[in-house]
Amino acid sequence: MNAMRINGDTALAWGAIEAGASCVTGYPGSPGTGTFTAMSDTAAEYGHEAEWCLNERIALDVAAGVSQGGRRALVCMKSVGMNVALDTLMVLNMTGVHAGLVILMGDDPGAWGSQNEQDGRYFAPLAEIPMLEPATPAEGRRMMRWAFDFSESFRTVVVLRITRSFSVCEADLPPVRRPASLHALDPDREPMRWISSLSNCIPNHRRLHQNLRDISQSFEEVPFNRIDGAGELGVIASGFVHSKLQDALEGADTSGLRCLKLGSLYPLPRRLITNFLERCRRILVLEEVDPYLEDSIKTIGYDGGVTPKVIGKRSEHVPGEGELFRWQMQEALMAHLPGLTPKRVFTEAGWQEEKPYRKSHCAGCPYNDVLSALREEAAALGQNPFLTADPGCVVIAAQYLDTKLCMGSAVGAALGLQKAGVGERAVAITGDSAFYHSTVNALIHAGSTGANLLLVVLDNAGSLTTGGQPTPDRGVLVAGKPGPVIGIDNLAAACGVDSIWTVEEKDPENRMRSVFREALQAEGLGLVTIRRRCEPVD
């Protein structure tokens, strides 16, 4: 069959389809959204289910149930989403899984579409679960199939880590192969298997550690690790950083360079790494974002009595922040291997050629108009409220804000400001997707503590920064079928909100300003919902 040009996200989706995954869940956030979308678009054709969830923990909970029921499940989320899913993950590691369960986690070095650039690789040793990272779309497709089999064989969650640059890279691959049937096992109802409690926590943890030792032995033979070249100077790279390394070295004489490509991030193949260290005098480690590999490799070398010089982020040969670009790699390589002459020299001046597309916002984004109107009406009343916000589209109006932390934090931060006695009203700002994700929990707290607070929800009909995924306020499921509506206003009333105002799309501008004036003067817990549709970002 003729090859098709696809990106890394789609290659991973094809791997999950070919592995016979029955269900994909997730919460929108790039990187990772593209893989869910590719599986959503093909759900009817291949028979699997795709379901956006209100947050990442719910997505993992659903996947855990699918696995226990004997079907394979994929969960898609970005690195900050793993923070949300961690409660479930730190129990699921103890109980293990039944049918294969894979988490696709997208890291965002450079924070091209995120509020931070946290390095998600540290979740693996924290949760004591295996983690892999593909270097190319073709390898990602194979790795996804392999990960499902491995998950089922060792009864463990497996995490595949990707970065933004892998997500958008492209390759020509054969079309997806339809599985004969979706993978299925009988449901697992083994007594106490799925219950983590005081009585079995220590035995479960002991079993987890034994399983991890077995996985460590197995990872010595993982097909995604390899050593290329020879010489006393070594380079270690993993995932898509290795692909960028190949570009940086193209056409150069690398006869004096020995390269270790790592596809398994945790547990690391200790014997393979020790053998590599024994043959090198000095080693350059290339990675994104933190010195995770650099520190781990030094530890492995110390334990094995092999301690060549290891340089990288700790030694400041490699930048400690941001995405690692090819020109930065070449600078580090030329210092490491004098005389290196690659075919193409990447430079800082030409880095725009490598600079990724940073998310823009929709033309005519309503956030600016809404928040400027709120500020103007507050000023007319002699008020200067502290505005706290959740991430998302609101970043376009950051000049109006005092605080923006993470999903669901706006209400809590506003409550804290009032407890500090700042002398002004605190107003929390959130979008409709963030409201359902985690703001509603904080709103229950505000309602149950009698808070004097105003919450403004800008309902722009979905998760617009990640493609316009639906929310329960619109009553639309992922497949576009009509579903039950669970409205923002109804939830707010149940949470103890005293006063509720709604400004509809058809209402004139003075209606919104009138509502703001009234709400800013009202006592108690109030909610203003502003409905303004906009087009999703491409």
Q: What is the pLDDT of residues 32-58, one digit of tens each?
A: 889 999 999 999 899 999 988 888 888
pLDDT computed for residue 194 by the predictor: 86
b/e sequence 253-286, b meaning 16+ C-beta within 10 Å: ebeebbbbbbbbbbbbbbebbbebbeebeebbbb
Q: Which pTM value belongs to this model?
A: 0.86
Q: Do residues 261 and 225 lie in contact, with contact meaning Cβ atoms separated by under 8 Å?
A: yes
Point out which residues pair with 51 in neighbouring strands.
25
Give residue 408's pLDDT. Answer: 78
Higher pLDDT, 433 or 71: 71
- pLDDT band of 1, cuts 50, 70, 90: low
Mean pLDDT of the chain: 87
Span 226-241, average pLDDT: 94
- Report how far residue 76's alpha carbon sits from residue 74's, in angstroms, rounded to the nearest whole number: 7
Q: 353 falls in which pLDDT band (50, 70, 90)? A: very low
Q: pLDDT grade, residue 125 (50/70/90)?
A: very high
Look-up of token digits 């105003």:
454
CB atoms within 10 A of CB 41: 12
Reported as a single tens digit per residue, the pLDDT across 73-108 is 999 999 888 998 999 999 999 999 999 999 999 998
Q: Is the pLDDT of residue 522 over 80?
A: yes
**Domains in the chain, please, with CATH?**
4-219 (3.40.50.970), 226-353 (3.40.50.920), 366-531 (3.40.50.970)
Q: Are strands 386-389 and 309-311 parallel, antiparallel or unpaired?
A: unpaired
> What is the C-alpha separation between 323 and 286, in angstroms, rounded?
11
Task: Identify the band that residue 388 occupies on the pLDDT scale cut at 50, 70 and 90.
Answer: confident
